[in-house]
Amino acid sequence: MPHHGQPITLSIDTLTDKGDGIANWHDRKVFIPGTLPGEQVEVSLHGIKPKYAQADLIRIIQKHPQRIEPHCSYTECGGCQLAYLAYSEQLKIKQQQVVAALQSKGITSFVEPCLGMSQPLAFRNKAVYAVRTENGEPQIGFYRKNSHQIVDITTCPVQHEQTTAITAAIRQWMKTFHIAGYDEANHTGCVRYVMIRHGFKTGSCMVVLVTLTDDLPKEAELLTALGAIDGIDSVIHNVNPDPVNRILGLQQRVCYGRESIEDELHGLTFTISAHSFYQVNPQQTDQLYATALHFAELKGNETVFDIYCGIGTISLYLAQQAQKVIGIEIVPQAIDDARANAQRNQLANTEFYVGKAEEVVPALYTQGMRADVVVVDPPRKGCELSVLNTMLAMSPQRIVYVSCEPASLARDLAVLQKGGYHITKVQPVDMFPHSMHVETVVQLTKS
């Protein structure tokens, strides 16, 4: 049997949800980054366990016919796992992910081709860069795959082009004034993260400096450096003193401009603060939410529940065509934003409630509230069973499920099917080109 480091030849069968190739070897699954289904590869084994092994790619003997050169030289960052594959093939893989997840739960509904982008670069409206110092030099970039080591990055093709100038200015500011990046091992240093948010339609931009320290050293000099870049409307100093992986702390102040920026989607205006959840791909967000609105099939006289509503983005789409929309979200600041967004867009037919969906939805039902249509957009873990059971008890005409995780989607759909609903439409949407991530919108109707 081959030992650690010995080259062997394998054939790639499929991909993990992280984009690594999977091959079979002596009753073990072998995981090989940078490979694609159907490829024959020479690899070097390591981490051999009874059920699986890891391997490093040595060379590709037989390439996937749609293998391409990646759009970015920073392949170690792990953000664009499918950068080696032509975009049309990426969309097929994402469609197949949804098909496989549904079939694993015995669901055989037809899955539409994945809705993609015409130009799948420079699509992100939010970037979060980790900051470190290495040998006295600032490092601003993304984590290397499966680690907290930084891949120092000067430009990222999937981010808004302005991020290159902003990170370059911050890098030079740190270098000139000897401002330390965060030392995670010792919980020391100063700058932990740089967050950059853009309003694509409005052209607005927010820069957030997250520090370990209460003060932002050489703040005036930083503002001068950022002031040389056109279009920055807001500079925020956020303090996160806790030894945790959470990016933002609770304390922050405005250094320049406003505490929030605005963006437009589907003719609606949204306020985005540093803490706001807002989908990172505006073009595909419009496709995703327009699909959800289409699947809701609203006539104008319905009461709609929008569960896990965030800042009310889907709620406001729905409110334009429904009689009333009730939104539920656990994050208080998001609900504040949702109410402000409804007022800004003059949509008075909305109500928003703060709390856990598994508590608020049953409580509203107990109080006599009913929904004609329910829209759910849960986190990756999917819906709590109590939420699904309350939805079934309400017996809405339609349920629209917006999912960011095929496995939890399939699990929840199986519950709803058993409860008397029929899956009528399944539409994957590519929110994150070049990654394995896929969003899906599903329409269910009462059987």
What is the average pLDDT across 115-138?
Answer: 96
The reply to whether 135 falls in a domain is yes
Structure confidence at residue 78 (pLDDT): 79
Specify the pTM. Answer: 0.92
Structure confidence at residue 1 (pLDDT): 59
Question: Same domain, yes or no, for 208 and 301?
Answer: no
* Count of the separate structural domains present in the chain: 3
The reply to whether 221 falls in a domain is yes
Q: Kindly tell me if the per-residue pLDDT of 211 is higher than 70.
A: yes
Mean pLDDT of the chain: 95
Structure confidence at residue 77 (pLDDT): 87
**What's the 3-state SS for 230-285?**
CCCCEEEEEECCCCCCCCCCCEEEEEEECCEEEEEECCEEEEEECCCCCCCCHHHH
The reply to whether 308 falls in a domain is yes
Question: Same domain, yes or no, for 100 and 130?
Answer: no
Chosen domain end from 265, 300, 334: 265
Q: What is the CATH number of the domain that holds 432?
A: 3.40.50.150
Could you read off the pLDDT of 33-90 as tens digits, one per residue?
A: 999 999 999 999 988 898 999 999 999 999 999 999 999 989 888 789 999 999 999 9
Report the catalytic residues: 404
Residue 270: closest CA among 334, 207, 322, 330:
334
Confidence of residue 335 (pLDDT cuts 50, 70, 90): very high
Could you read off the pLDDT of 343-395 as tens digits, one per residue?
A: 999 999 999 999 999 999 999 999 999 999 999 999 999 999 999 999 999 99
Share of the chain above pLDDT 70, in %: 99
Could you read off the pLDDT of 240-288 as tens digits, one per residue?
A: 999 998 999 999 999 999 999 999 998 999 988 898 888 999 999 999 9
**How far, in Å, CA of 91 to CA of 9, rounded?**
28
Structure confidence at residue 76 (pLDDT): 85
Host domain of residue 110: 91-118+281-446
Sign of the torsion formed by the C-alpha atoms of 55, 61, 65 and 68: positive
Chosen domain end from 265, 293, 319: 265
What is the average pLDDT across 329-339?
Answer: 91
Which residues lie closer than 8 Å to 73 by C-beta, 6 or more apart? Answer: none
